[in-house]
Structure 1
Amino acid sequence: MGVRSFEHVGVIVQDLEKVAAFFELLGFHRGDTATVGGEWADRVNGLTGTRVEMVFMTTPDGSGALELSRFIEPVNQDAPTSLPSDTLGLRHIAYRVDGVEELIERVRAAGYDLVRELVNYEDIWLVCYVRGPEGLIVELGERLS
């Protein structure tokens, strides 16, 4: 017995609506917003007085989700940062896309930009990192062959 399948990645955010709108811009489907908390959440999170507003964002093919969560309680005073790509820890998430150049235009029109540039990797992929709200990095890749 062990890992069976991928379920979701949890992303803690300050501005739930702004971050959810960014992922909708990329093509994710938004679920219903819910507020959770209580003793069970305290036990899972190792916190006291947990109350969280959250929404699941899923890919069109249903291959996994992002759980966007904003902690109402306890309050964390840390400000989001735009860490460099080589900072230790979970640094980016990657998605296969269609029409990456058009998607980049939409991203830029919404006020976001690439970390650096769109690259043709060996005529197999067009790939880039997009810097989203709160310093989040999303890798977008379009398969060429």
Structure 2
Amino acid sequence: MTIKRMDNVGIVVESLDAVIPFFIALGLRLEGRANIDGEWAGRVTGLGTQRVEIAMLITPDGHSRLELSQFFAPAVVADHREAPVNALGYLRVMFTVIDLDDTLVRLREHGAQLVGDVVQYQNSYRLCYIRGPEGLLIGLAEELM
């Protein structure tokens, strides 16, 4: 085996301040924010000199992280936020929640909109997709067992 663990999923956003409260309302905890800049960072990403602020959020179980990035330089070159669920590439993050209905009520207060319907898959899950702030696609699943 070569993989030890998955550290985080990264999402580029226009405004950390607009998106962080949504993920906190979902149940993630803000671990911290940091400015990342300079030549060393650009060597990792292939972007050259860059200036970005990141926010790291962690799930309640402490096993998964979400890294939000707001780029100041270079400018953002593509926008996939309104892509349909069958678009190529990374598309969404799925979270398992305790109470799907309660979660939807809380997230609607932060601008979340249901994409389709809440559906039940066999006797295993209730599932839905929502669009969060900045059009981010988020999957929510409630285990029924």
Correspondence for 1:114: 114
1:3 aligns with 2:15: no
What per-residue deviation string (whole Å, max 9, x for no partner) do you get for residues 78-100 of structure 1? 55631111101111111111011
Query: How many pairs are equivalent?
Result: 145
- Specify the code of the residue in structure 2 equivalent to 1:115: V
Contact 1:57 1:66 in 2 (8 A): yes
TM-score scaled to structure 2, two decimals? 0.93
- What are the superposed Cα offsets for residues 112-131 of structure 1, whole Å, 9 maximum, x if unpaired? 21111111111211111111
- Percent same amino acid among aligned pairs? 37
CA distance in 2, matches of 1:133, 1:141: 19
Counterpart of 2:37 in structure 1 is 37
The one-letter code matched in structure 1 to 2:67 is E
- Distance in 1 between residues matched to 2:53 and 2:21, nearest whole Å: 15
Question: Which structure has the highest strand share of the two?
Answer: 2
**Cα distance in 2 between the residues matched to 1:124 and 1:96:** 12
SS of 1:106's equivalent? helix
1:30-68, Cα deviation, whole Å (9 max, x unpaired): 122110111210100111221110110110001110110
One-letter amino acid matched to 1:111:
G
Stretches of structure 2 lacking an aligned partner (at least 5 in a row): none
Counterpart amino acid of 1:113?
A: Q
Give the superposition deviation at 1:110.
2.5
Q: Unmatched 5+ residue regions in structure 1?
A: none
Asked whether 1:13 is paired with 2:10, we answer no
Supply the AA of the counterpart residue of 1:140: L
**Residue type at the aligned position of 2:59:** T
Q: Write the distance in 2 (CA, Å) between the matches of 1:81 and 1:141.
A: 21
Q: Secondary structure at the match of 1:140?
A: strand
SS in 2 for 1:130: strand
Q: What's the offset of the Cα at 1:6?
A: 1.0
Are 1:83 and 1:135, in contact at CA under 8 Å, matched by a contact in 2?
no
1:50 pairs with 2:50: yes
Amino acid at match of 1:12: V
1:114-133 residue pairs with structure 2 within 5 A?
114-133=114-133
Report the counterpart of residue 72 of structure 1 in structure 2: 72
